[in-house]
């Protein structure tokens, strides 16, 4: 295929002020997609909200912080218009956030929907009246229908959209998340079972239920070890530092979820309650051969087959504690789920598979 | 002495006339659910729509019928009322479909969702205007709020509910459907056949992908002389079944027949590939689980609860969207790839072991013990 130009618009890959990466999962996705498009011979230019600065995703893949940050009903019409006008020569436009695909998109375009952002109890406080929510929904419906395809790794989003607007059968392209093959990890010794909660420490990711579950389990099983790794709001980090001081057997650090970190734990917790979930992080834990416990939100229930490759729990400290306890006390079951998880990732969520699907879609659109 | 009295309200466990038995997944679910409650030492009584006759769901468990009278927006307020009044001596209630809990529900009650059924294009002919849809949603929201717990057979329904009404998450429980592993298991040894047999074990409806499947099979039967296609399922009418017989007659190595549920394990064991190409209205399909338990390579639509059972490329193939092209590609890959077929089948069988009847009962027991305590 002849080299083409691909323009990608995102809301915020990095903080427009500090330029720090805001979400590791989204950044990893952006890097993998850029690398693939580059390898296919295309020129890739990213745009995001910002006041005119310039950064980069990869060498020769610029990130232009130049789209106006004016939000209305959780959509970005002026940023959308600006991207359409300024990136008018691209052969393919990718709207890396679905909300940017309103009100109008390039003729050859695809949107990426990272998950459901409207399933948390505070959603209504962002759009406090029924009229506002109706307007948001109308715009979301337009954004779903505008591009030639909407790519998502969250089957739950497809199910919701199709059940909300019947007739979207052909709108979606389901491209599940990916994980790189992990390095060889040393087998865990027979020491205490270690349970990891990787951040961010937010209510949406279930930090409240997690520490309540940990408190209950510490009373029942003094030999269990708990590790909180990641970042949160300063006040939350301060609270957790105090909490760790008061609870023997728990530790807190700011490490990101790497294979090194995963090599030190037995069970990884992703009890997501709402919002887009850490799909790539969860897949990394599964690829590393860890038993995972996930919430049903955030697309994670599409990664885990109940009691075969992990455990899916309903929201609440009690159900989370029960699940941790079962896996901690039954090493054979823990190993079985972990082995199945590793195999499932190798077959269903490999980077190679993800690249093949994206390549096929890009070729179809650019041809 | 019984632990308590449980009343179960459904629309139809048998046909309204009380004479014809329905062999669907919901009815099989109902029978296993009843057996479980009896094993847990509850007294169980069922109610459904009918003219006043009484039958049995299983020996010793009565099924009473009450007239429907009024039904609107997918709810049956008169049936709900009659159940509430006639079953006033029960301690606990189970609404076998969530909308049956409208407008009122017993204090200690559970409602069951068998999956999203409003995600196909013609759904809006049932609720044709926004006013109708708003009323349907309002009644459903009320119905979801009445029982103490809503048990869903898939996470697709849970995700729909929480994304439509944030705040209902704590009411929901995920109890995926089951397969009887004693009946559905791989054969002792696979027959060394030269042919490759493809099975569609579903009702002959558009939403189950019958039309795409027939076109795909016409192409594949012409291209692969080793291929056989078995279509095993009832139509909605004699006319439709006659048409299907004619189609099978016109195509070499295509067969159309029907078998009762107790013979289905044998049917699955004699196949190589099983198609569950649903386009909508699907939960954690019993047929899909049965095919998996027998160790067959499954090709399924990426819809509803099927994504709770199949990971594409690991234990089956998921189609999005379900079209003739995607079906042909998937079946072709399996026909020409015996290793892929075997690997997917083996992992499907291992997956199905986590969805056995015993695990299903254990998951249900935990919910029941919390609500009916």
pLDDT of residue B23: 74
**Residues in chain A closer than 8 A to B351 (CB atoms):** 305, 308
Nearest Cα to Cα of residue B290 among B12, B28, B38, B33 = B28
B interface test, pick of A305, A357, A361 with most B CB neighbours within 10 Å: A305
Whole-number CA gyration radius for chain B: 21
pLDDT band (50, 70, 90) for residue A116: very high
Is residue A359's pLDDT more than 80?
yes
Nearest residue in A to B310, CA atom: A305
Residue A49, CA distances (Å) to A7, A8, A31, A67, B318 in order: 14, 12, 18, 4, 36
Q: What percent of chain B has pLDDT over 70?
A: 100
Least confident residue range of A174-188, A275-289, B51-65: A174-188
Asked whether the beta carbons of residue A174 and residue B347 sit closer than 8 angstroms, the reply is no
Query: Quick one: how far is CA B323 from the chain centroid?
Result: 22
CA distance B346 to chain A (A): 12
Asked whether the beta carbons of residue B320 and residue A273 sit closer than 8 angstroms, the reply is no
pLDDT band (50, 70, 90) for residue A3: confident
Residue A56, CA distances (Å) to A12, A17, A42 in order: 13, 15, 16
Nearest residue in A to B149, CA atom: A314
Residue ranges of domains in chain B, CATH in brackets: 4-178+356-371 (3.40.50.2000), 196-355 (3.40.50.2000)
Query: How many inter-chain contacts (A to B, CB under 8 Å) are there?
Result: 132
Of chain B, the end-to-end C-alpha distance in Å amounts to 16
Asked whether the beta carbons of residue A347 and residue B314 sit closer than 8 angstroms, the reply is yes
pLDDT of residue B119: 94
CA distance B330 to chain A (A): 14
CA distance B311 to chain A (A): 6
CA distance A90 to chain B (A): 28
Nearest Cα to Cα of residue B184 among B27, B28, B340 = B28
Query: Quick one: how far is CA B303 from the chain centroid?
Result: 13
Minimal Cβ distance to A174: which of B176, B309, B320: B320
CA distance B268 to chain A (A): 22
A interface test, pick of B314, B318, B340, B361 with most A CB neighbours within 10 Å: B314
- Condensed to tens digits (0 to 9), the pLDDT of residues B30-41 reads 999 999 999 999
pLDDT of residue B79: 94
- Condensed to tens digits (0 to 9), the pLDDT of residues A245-258 reads 999 999 999 999 99
pLDDT band (50, 70, 90) for residue A187: confident
Minimal Cβ distance to B312: which of A124, A316, A348: A348
Mean per-residue pLDDT, B297-326: 97
**Residues in chain A closer than 8 A to B141 (CB atoms):** none
pLDDT of residue A173: 96
Mean per-residue pLDDT, A204-227: 96
**Residues in chain B closer than 8 A to A308 (CB atoms):** 350-351, 353-354
**Residues in chain B closer than 8 A to A321 (CB atoms):** none
pLDDT of residue A60: 96
pLDDT of residue A199: 87
What's the maximum distance between 2 C-alpha atoms anywhere in chain A? Answer: 64
- Report the mean per-residue pLDDT for chain A: 95
pLDDT of residue B87: 80
Q: What percent of chain A has pLDDT over 70?
A: 100
pLDDT of residue A182: 86
Mean per-residue pLDDT, B177-206: 93
Asked whether the beta carbons of residue A160 and residue B351 sit closer than 8 angstroms, the reply is no
Is residue B193's pLDDT more than 90?
no
pLDDT of residue B21: 76
Phi and psi, residue B193, nearest 5°? -85, 150
- Report the mean per-residue pLDDT for chain B: 95
A interface test, pick of B116, B119, B179, B316 with most A CB neighbours within 10 Å: B119
Nearest Cα to Cα of residue A210 among A151, A290, A271 = A271
B interface test, pick of A98, A131, A133, A162 with most B CB neighbours within 10 Å: A162
- Condensed to tens digits (0 to 9), the pLDDT of residues A79-106 reads 999 999 999 999 999 999 999 999 999 9
Is residue A317's pLDDT more than 90?
yes
Minimal Cβ distance to A119: which of B166, B318, B355: B166
Asked whether the beta carbons of residue B321 and residue A297 sit closer than 8 angstroms, the reply is no
Is residue A186's pLDDT more than 80?
no
**Residues in chain A closer than 8 A to B355 (CB atoms):** 306
What the block records as the tokens of B310 is 């199949």
pLDDT of residue B249: 96
The upper half-sphere exposure of residue B260, i.e. CA atoms within 13 Å in the direction of its Cβ, equals 3
Minimal Cβ distance to B302: which of A123, A124, A155: A155
Is residue B333's pLDDT more than 80?
yes
Asked whether the beta carbons of residue B121 and residue A167 sit closer than 8 angstroms, the reply is yes
pLDDT of residue A166: 85
Is residue A47's pLDDT more than 80?
yes
Nearest residue in A to B125, CA atom: A166
The ranges of chain A annotated as CATH 3.40.50.2000 are 5-178+350-366, 194-348
Q: Mark residue A363 as left, alpha or beta (left: phi above 0; alpha: psi -120 to 50; beta: remaining).
A: alpha
Minimal Cβ distance to B163: which of A116, A306, A308: A116
Is residue B320's pLDDT more than 80?
yes
Is residue B345's pLDDT more than 90?
yes
CA distance B316 to chain A (A): 10
Q: Topology of A194-348 in CATH?
A: Rossmann fold (3.40.50)
pLDDT band (50, 70, 90) for residue B252: very high
What the block records as the tokens of B365 is 């027991």
- Condensed to tens digits (0 to 9), the pLDDT of residues B152-175 reads 999 999 999 999 999 899 999 999
Q: What percent of chain A has pLDDT over 90?
A: 94
CA torsion, ordered B215, B219, B222, B225, to nearest 10 deg: -100
Mean per-residue pLDDT, B80-87: 90
Query: What is the distance between the alpha carbons of residues B9 and A293, in angstroms, rounded to a whole number?
Result: 34
A187 or A339, greater pLDDT:
A339
pLDDT of residue B191: 73
Mean per-residue pLDDT, B215-230: 97
Contact between A259 and A288 (Cβ < 8 Å): yes
**Residues in chain B closer than 8 A to A163 (CB atoms):** 116, 118-119, 156, 160
pLDDT of residue B121: 87
Is residue A43's pLDDT more than 90?
yes
Q: Topology of A5-178+350-366 in CATH?
A: Rossmann fold (3.40.50)
Query: What is the distance between the alpha carbons of residues A70 and A78, in angstroms, rounded to a whole number?
Result: 7
The DSSP annotation for A343-362 comes to: HHHHHHSBHHHHHHHHHHHH
Q: What percent of chain B has pLDDT over 90?
A: 87
- Condensed to tens digits (0 to 9), the pLDDT of residues A53-76 reads 999 999 999 999 999 999 999 999
pLDDT band (50, 70, 90) for residue A2: confident
């Amino acid at each position: 295929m002849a080299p083409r130009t691909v323009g990608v618009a995102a809301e915020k890959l990095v903080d427009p002020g500090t330029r720090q990466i805001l979400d590791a999962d989204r950044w990893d996705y952006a890097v993998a997609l850029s690398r693939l498009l580059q390898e296919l011979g295309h020129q890739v230019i990213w745009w995001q909200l910002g006041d005119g600065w310039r950064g980069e995703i990869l060498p020769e893949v610029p990130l232009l912080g130049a789209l106006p940050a004016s939000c209305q009903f959780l959509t970005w019409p002026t940023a959308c218009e600006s991207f359409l006008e300024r990136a008018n020569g691209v052969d393919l436009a990718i709207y890396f956030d679905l909300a940017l695909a309103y009100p109008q998109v390039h003729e050859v375009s695809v949107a990426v929907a990272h998950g459901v952002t409207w399933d948390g109890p505070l959603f209504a406080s962002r759009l406090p009246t029924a009229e506002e929510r109706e307007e948001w929904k109308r715009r979301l419906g337009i954004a779903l229908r505008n591009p030639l395809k909407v790519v998502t790794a969250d089957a739950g989003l497809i199910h919701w959209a199709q059940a909300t607007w019947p007739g979207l059968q052909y709108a979606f392209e389901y491209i599940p998340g990916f994980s790189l093959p992990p390095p060889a990890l040393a087998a865990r010794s027979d020491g205490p079972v270690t349970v990891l909660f990787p951040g961010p420490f937010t209510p949406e990711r279930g930090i409240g239920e997690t520490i309540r579950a940990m408190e209950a389990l510490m009373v029942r099983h003094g030999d269990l070890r708990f590790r909180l790794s990641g970042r949160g709001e300063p006040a939350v980090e301060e609270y957790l530092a105090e909490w760790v001081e008061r609870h023997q057997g728990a530790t807190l650090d700011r490490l990101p979820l790497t294979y090194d970190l995963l090599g030190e734990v037995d069970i990884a917790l992703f009890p997501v309650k709402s919002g887009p979930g850490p799909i790539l992080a969860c897949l990394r834990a599964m690829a590393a051969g860890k038993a995972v416990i996930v919430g049903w939100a955030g697309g994670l229930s599409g990664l885990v087959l109940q009691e075969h490759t992990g455990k899916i729990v309903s929201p609440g400290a009690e159900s989370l504690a029960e699940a941790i306890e079962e896996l901690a006390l039954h090493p054979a079951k823990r190993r079985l789920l972990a082995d199945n998880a590793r195999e499932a990732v190798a077959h269903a969520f490999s980077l190679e598979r993800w690249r093949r699907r994206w390549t096929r879609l890009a070729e179809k659109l650019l041809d | 002495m019984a632990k308590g009295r449980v009343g179960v309200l459904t629309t139809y466990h048998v046909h309204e006339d009380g004479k014809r038995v329905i062999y669907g997944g919901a009815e099989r679910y109902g029978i296993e659910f009843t057996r479980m409650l009896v094993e847990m030492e509850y007294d169980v009584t069922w109610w459904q729509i009918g003219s006043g006759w009484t039958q049995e769901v299983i020996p010793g468990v009565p099924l009473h019928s009450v007239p429907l009278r009024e039904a609107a927006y997918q709810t049956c307020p008169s049936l709900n009322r009659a159940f509430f009044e006639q079953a006033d001596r029960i301690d606990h209630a189970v609404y076998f479909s969530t909308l049956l809990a409208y407008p009122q529900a017993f204090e200690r009650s559970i409602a069951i969702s068998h999956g999203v059924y409003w995600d196909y294009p013609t759904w809006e002919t049932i609720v044709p205007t926004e006013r109708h849809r708003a009323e349907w949603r309002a009644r459903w929201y009320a119905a979801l709020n009445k029982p103490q717990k809503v048990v869903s057979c898939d996470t697709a329904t849970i995700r729909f509910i929480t994304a439509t009404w944030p705040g209902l998450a704590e009411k929901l429980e995920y109890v995926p459907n089951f397969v009887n592993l004693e009946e559905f298991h791989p054969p002792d040894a696979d027959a060394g056949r030269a042919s490759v047999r493809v099975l569609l074990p579903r009702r002959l409806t558009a939403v189950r992908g019958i039309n795409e499947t027939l076109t795909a099979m016409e192409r594949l039967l012409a291209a692969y002389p080793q291929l056989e296609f078995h279509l095993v399922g009832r139509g909605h009418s004699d006319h439709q079944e006659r048409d299907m017989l004619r189609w099978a007659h016109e195509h070499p190595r295509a067969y159309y027949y029907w078998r009762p549920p107790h013979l289905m394990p044998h049917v699955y064991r004699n196949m190589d590939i099983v198609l569950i190409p649903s386009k909508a209205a699907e939960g954690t399909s019993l047929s899909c689980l049965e095919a998996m338990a027998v160790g067959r390579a499954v090709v399924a639509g990426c819809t509803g609860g099927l994504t709770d059972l199949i990971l594409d490329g690991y234990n089956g193939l998921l189609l999005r969207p379900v079209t003739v092209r995607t079906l042909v590609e998937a079946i072709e890959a399996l026909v020409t790839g015996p290793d892929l077929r075997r690997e997917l089948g083996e992992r499907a069988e291992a997956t199905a072991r986590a969805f056995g009847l015993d695990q299903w009962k254990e998951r249900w027991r935990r919910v029941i013990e919390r609500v009916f305590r």
